[in-house]
Amino acid sequence: MHYGSRTTVGFAEQRIDAVEKSTGNVKYLGDKSFQGMLHAKVATSTEAHARIKSIDTSEAWKVQGVRAIVTGKTFPFPIGPILADRPPIAFDKVRYYGEPIAVIVADHPYQAKQAAGKIVAEYEPLPIVNSVEQAFQKDAPLIHEQSGQYTKLIDNVYPVPGTNIASHVKIRKGEFGKAWAVCKDTISATYSFNLSDHAAMETRTATVEINSDGRVIVHSTSQSPFTIKKIFNQFFNLDVGKVIVHIPMLGGAFGGKGAVQLEPLAYLASNAVGGKLVKLQFEREEDMMTAPCHIGFNATVKLGVNEEGKLIAGQYTFLIEAGAYSDQAAGITRAAALDCTGPYHIPNVWCDSYCMYTNHPYATSFRGYGHPELTFAIERTIDQFADKLQMDPIEFRLLNVIKPGQTTPTQSILTPNNIGDAAKCMTRAKELIGWDGKQPIVSENGLVRAKGVALFWKTSTTSTNAQAGAILKFEADGTVTLTSAAVELGQGTKTILAQIAAERLKMNVSDIHVTMEVNTQYTPHQWRTVASSTTFLAGNAVLAAADDAIRQLKRIGAVALQCSEEDLDVGNGRVYIKAKPDIGINIETVALGYKYPNGHTVGGQVIGIGVHVQRHLTPMDKETGFGDPGPWWSVGAQAVEIEWDESNYHYKIVKAVTVLDGGTIINPMTAAQQMRGGIFLGLSIARGESFEFNEQGVIQNPDLRTYQLMRFGEQPDEYIVEFVETPAEDGPFGARGIGEYGVIGAAAALANGLSLATNVELTQLPLTPELIWRTRRAAYDPV
Amino acid sequence: MIVSNTGKYTVVSLLVNGSSQDIMIRSADTLLCTLRNQLGLTGAKQACGNGDCGACTVLVDGKPMHSCLLLTMEALNSGITTIEGLRHSPVRQAFVDNWAIQCGYCTPGFIVNGHALVTEHPDAEDERIEEWLQSNLCRCTGYQEIKDAIKSALNANNLLDSNGIDTAEQ
């Protein structure tokens, strides 16, 4: 394919949302108020695992302004995106501290909050499952007694009744047992970390109004507008077409807004007040304790090599902590399995990936969907193995890196089109971090400098029929309005789609007007804005819509110019004769149809429509994992240089390098934003973020003072971002997805560097000075 | 000024972005709540409600304050500047020019705080910039571009007026 020299794709076009965001004028959902709006508040469980004996609402009703109180009895059915295991409001049992037990609707937020504090629940406490390791034990208390009876909404979820296993996904490739027996050398290591939080700056919010004609109007801070419609249809028995979802721009999401939690609560609340508009906005503590969070993880990795140092066998046991309900953790369990090896060619693979219930807040998708987590385990093991084999860790990686012609754990065949160049990324990252094998370097003042690297990959595990659509509507002046259901959550997707449209239409990007909000009544269907899938899916849909519009412009232009359509080309605001470019007409004279001098008009408005759907994806086989779960693998390498202070165990991050092959880069500046922000997020989580639970399963740090995000000044002194651009034949202008990738190798690279500096193997997160101290004490000074 | 603490509303006037506005408040209303719900100035965001994140930062007599931690009645005798009053601040333009904006939710708080920094300490060095901006959280950018924006505004050093109030927008 050749489109000639490009004019906007590949250029750093300014984000179309930047100016408006800088003025404070952008209206996020919490900034909108609606006439006559009522306010909802959740009352939440004070037990992590208990039977509900009674809920007394009588005192709450006495608070002025209270209009309704809804408890689990109103809708005692479980819902969910993959496995329907979660009642929107707890009934019979509570399974985590902070779980909604009632929703109060009142005139003002403070009244609803006062009333929520007066809900009195009586519980019969049950034994608490307080860790994923405990959940996996045979005699562990059961959190879901009926898990075998839950409705499955997608393929590839396999609960094991009578256990806390919400899903068990298997990979069986080659003959692991035989290969393991003949390995020249092997290694085995175990890793773990707790649940943590997305901590998007905007907390989750939803409003619902039920019109008298039965239409349900939802406004939400969601990455999944069409999933809301689907879930309302499946569980509330509403017509899909009668559920209308509006999504404004989001104040960050990171996967946490892919889950559907507040919308059903707001629906039940609105239903209880005759359909009036009800707003449910989580405060920070609720957003951390009640709303879904980031998975916890426990992994055991076993690797074996042959004489040449090539990996021939890999065994992976993942315990994905879902918390109280499976939500997207069931999907993450599958995603972690299908990419379990990392970007290495390993012919014999055995993986058991378990989605585990615990009595903690439930988890959902988090930027990277299982990959930052598995990469931490894989890349730490690779480093330890290289050390054991006395090889340079980068050389060991390059020896084993996966290449076109080889197969993934699910036996998908890799081609130069569907995977980027991991070796090139690794080699470039090595140069950028200044890797010379001489480390750590100890200075006289007790500061230890070390570098760590990580290699990673990820496919975009969408549903097999995931799709997006786009509409390009020509205005009277020849400019274009672009509409799609891609949610702008900070990643810059609206700018990217405008660039793709402008490039194909050969227009200025400033002449593409993009609808920033999503309204499911007008926008075409889009699977969800997750999985780094939007540039690929919606971008291809925009290309198809542009081609459709170009066909229409040529058809009308052929009438106006009295020639055949084949003679024509479109560009620079004109429809013109290819062979004689000076003969043509301006697009504005055909945008609404061509009007002859006598007033007769032909054509009508040019409206380009395009849809793109995933091609040839398949579910995974239950016993072996065999299948084609994703369209392509973006790959990358990251490297981190740290300086650790022996005297107090603190460290600073000096440099953070990311080299990614995501195919063609549509906008180098927004892409660099994503990579810097991605590695920052990964480093922030790895360095200091984790929910702390007490013995009662209660989070001890549910706010941004005690749960510590990286603050200004704690970020790396220097970020370096580069791209290798191996084009994908079927991506828009050769692009693959990149949105999640910056985060994936961060924890692994940091932990590898710190392990070198501190001379102990760090196998847990977060990498606090205390963890380093404990690990060293256990290694060198056992009590 | 006596403001009822019984949950009833009292009419008071508040000086915001250079103009005096009559509003109704309860004694328990925070300045953030009043700005957003009474005056429609939604640029200041509630993200933690606890003084931990800085998304609600406004200027009170030129000083950056967390409006979620101030009662409206505490601000009645002060001049308040919100992001809506800083349209012509070079810090705002610097955030655009330096790609310091992604989701945009923390942006107003950072710009207001950064504007105060540039106004009060036009010669601020790294250490002061760091100390000053630690009160604000951003989850998207990794702070590099925010740092670049602040530094470029410090270098430009061409503020409209020393009080940090944008007279053109009043």
- Asked if residues A355 and A389 have their Cβ atoms less than 8 Å apart, the reply is no
In 10 A of CB A27, how many CB atoms?
14
- pLDDT at residue number A11: 97
Q: Which residue has the tokens 């707790």?
A: A194
Tally helices (H) and strands (E) across chain A. Answer: 17, 30
* Yes or no, beta carbons of B104 and A719 under 8 Å apart: no
Phi, psi for residue A152 in degrees, rounded to 5: -95, 130
Q: Which amino acid is at A652?
A: K
What are the residues facing B10 on neighbouring strands?
B25
Distance (Å, whole) CA B106 – CA B114 = 12
> Rg of the Cα trace of chain A?
27
pLDDT(B6) > 90: no
- pLDDT at residue number A444: 86
Q: Given 3.30.465.10, 3.40.50.1000, 3.30.70.1290, 3.30.365.10, which CATH number is that of A296-462+618-780? A: 3.30.365.10
Closest CA relative to residue A495, chosen from A329, A666, A246, A338: A666
Structural domain boundaries in chain B: 10-83, 86-158
Residue A780 near chain B (CB below 8 Å): no
Which pLDDT band holds residue B2 (cuts at 50, 70, 90)?
Answer: low
Total CB pairs under 8 A between chain A and B: 158
pLDDT(B169) > 90: no
The CA-CA-CA angle for residues A99, A101, A103, to 5°, reads 110
Nearest chain B residue to A16, by CA: B96
The torsion defined by the Cα of A698, A704, A710 and A714, in degrees rounded to 10, comes to -120
Third-level CATH fold of A37-126+200-253+257-289? Aldehyde Oxidoreductase; domain 3 (3.90.1170)
Helix (H) or strand (E) holding A146: none
The DSSP line for A746-763 is: HHHHHHHHHHHHHTS---
- Asked if residues A610 and A546 have their Cβ atoms less than 8 Å apart, the reply is yes
Q: Given 3.90.180.10, 3.30.365.10, 3.40.50.1240, 3.40.50.2000, which CATH number is that of A466-613? A: 3.30.365.10
The CA-CA-CA angle for residues A635, A668, A679, to 5°, reads 50
Nearest chain A residue to B48, by CA: A284
pLDDT(B20) > 50: yes
Phi, psi for residue A87 in degrees, rounded to 5: -70, 135
Q: Which amino acid is at B80?
A: I
Kindly state the percentage of chain B with pLDDT values over 90: 86
Give how far A686 is from chain B: nearest CA, Å.
14
- Asked if residues A663 and A631 have their Cβ atoms less than 8 Å apart, the reply is no
Distance (Å, whole) CA B106 – CA B90 = 18
Closest CA relative to residue A84, chosen from A242, A225, A260, A302: A260
> Which chain B residues have a beta carbon less than 8 Å from that of A711?
134, 137
> Which chain B residues have a beta carbon less than 8 Å from that of A199?
139
- Tell me the pLDDT tens digit for each residue of B64-82: 999 999 999 999 999 999 9
Question: Nearest CB to B101: which of A21, A254, A715?
Answer: A21
- pLDDT at residue number B5: 60
Give how far A414 is from chain B: nearest CA, Å.
32
> What are the residues whose beta carbons fall under 8 Å from the beta carbon of A627, sequence distance 6 or more?
A338, A410, A411, A412, A618, A619, A620, A621
Residues 695-754 of A with CB under 8 A from B: 703-705, 709, 711-713, 715-716, 719
pLDDT(B1) > 60: no
Helix (H, G, I), strand (E, B) or coil at A593: strand
- pLDDT at residue number B15: 98
> Which chain B residues have a beta carbon less than 8 Å from that of A703?
48, 50, 52
- pLDDT at residue number B167: 44
Distance (Å, whole) CA A752 – CA A640 = 9
* Residue from B91, B98, B140, B141 whose CB has the most chain A CBs within 10 Å, to mutate: B140
> Which chain B residues have a beta carbon less than 8 Å from that of A709?
137, 139
- Tell me the pLDDT tens digit for each residue of B87-123: 999 999 999 999 999 999 999 999 999 999 999 999 9
Residue A35 near chain B (CB below 8 Å): no
CA atoms within 13 A on the CB side of A674: 30
Q: For every residue of chain B, which 3-state class applies, written as one string?
A: CCCCCCCCCEEEEEEECCEEEEEEECCCCEHHHHHHHCCCCCCCCCCCCCCCCCCCEEEECCEEEECCCCEHHHHCCCEEECHHHCCCCHHHHHHHHCCCCCCCCCHHHHHHHHHHHHHHCCCCCHHHHHHHHCCCCCCCCCCHHHHHHHHHHHHHCCCCCCCCCCHHHC
Residue A675 near chain B (CB below 8 Å): no
Question: Nearest CB to B104: which of A251, A254, A711?
Answer: A251
Closest CA relative to residue A573, chosen from A469, A464, A480, A435: A480
Nearest chain B residue to A19, by CA: B96
Nearest chain B residue to A680, by CA: B142
pLDDT(B159) > 50: no
ipTM: 0.97
Q: Given 3.30.565.10, 1.10.150.120, 3.30.70.20, 3.40.50.2300, which CATH number is that of B86-158? A: 1.10.150.120
Domain A296-462+618-780 and domain A466-613, same fold? Reply is yes
Q: Which amino acid is at A546?
A: A
Residue ranges in chain A whose pLDDT is less than 50 = 1-3
- Tell me the pLDDT tens digit for each residue of A304-342: 999 999 999 999 999 999 999 999 999 999 999 999 999
- pLDDT at residue number B170: 37
Nearest chain B residue to A495, by CA: B102
CATH code for the part of the protein at B10-83: 3.10.20.30
